[in-house]
Amino acid sequence: MRSLLAALILVAGLTGCQSNASKQNPETSKTDSMGGPATTPVPANNALTGEEKEAGWQLLFDGATKNGWHVYNNKSDGSAWQVVDGTLHLDPKTKKDYQTVGGGDIVTADEYENFDLKLEWKLDSAGNSGIMFYVREDPKYERTYHTGPEMQVLDNAAHSDAKIIKHRAADLYDLVSSSPEVVRPAGEWNQVEIICNKGNLEFHLNGVKVLSTTLWDDNWKKMIAGSKFKAWPDFGTFKKGRIALQDHGDPVWYRNIKIRKL
């Protein structure tokens, strides 16, 4: 009798422990098709899922090399852009001169017309960078931003640019303000999606659509005429160009850079 009672107590104790473990870790309470614990797989950084490959997505950064990227107009060797822990990282301490030694904006090898671009970025405190598109690479254009519109990358909490309208994170720089504001603090990753399709432009940040506008129409030309870009007559006129990541002199990290032609 004592042996039976002890066995019943032991079974009850084990059942209670398993129940508590399931409460502490909801993932282990799920079961797969074989009846065992199932967990939701976390997508690997700088890799495409089978579904993404079937949908036509292509990686622009492989997580291990800078293949497919070069400094705009080859003004520098780009050594300040480094691959660190699966990220494309600008380390400004390693450059001596913006134009010729290490630094400069980097651009894709290929040009894109209608596209869906996704990537992630994070900054140090008070950091500034940018993502540009429809950049025309030509010696007659000294900078990427002389032709390519920019999605602002910024620490809104600490950088002075945040005090200027249309200069905050996820704004179409100096042209259109984004809303709502969903940027994450310095040191945290932000997910970006930029969709350009036949003149229709959308910005998404951290899963939220924050901006929509139309390129190349009369209103677009009017906005440019009222901005700092009026000094460069070819700004925002090209319908095909390179993607650029900006060297603004501050540490910045990019990863999971992928694109799909539309």
Which residue type is seen at 207? G
Give the mean pLDDT per block of 10 residues along the chain (262 residues).
45 44 36 50 88 98 97 92 97 71 92 98 97 98 98 98 97 98 98 98 98 98 98 98 97 98 98
**Structural domain includes residue 174:** yes
**Structural domain includes residue 81:** yes
Q: State residue 28's pLDDT score.
A: 34
Q: State residue 39's pLDDT score.
A: 59
**Structural domain includes residue 61:** yes
| 36, 74: one domain | no
131 exposure class (CB count in 10 Å sphere: 0-12, 13-18, 19+): buried
| 12, 57: one domain | no
Residues 14-57 have pLDDT tens digits of 444 444 433 333 333 334 444 555 555 667 999 999 999 999 99
| 28, 61: one domain | no
**Structural domain includes residue 45:** no
Pair 121, 261: CB distance under 8 Å: no
Q: State residue 27's pLDDT score.
A: 33
**Structural domain includes residue 109:** yes
Q: What CATH number has the domain bearing residue 166?
A: 2.60.120.560
Which residue type is seen at 187? G
**Structural domain span for residue 26:** 1-40
Q: Measured on CA atoms in the order 58, 60, 62, 65, is the torsion positive or negative?
A: positive
123 exposure class (CB count in 10 Å sphere: 0-12, 13-18, 19+): buried
Q: State residue 95's pLDDT score.
A: 73
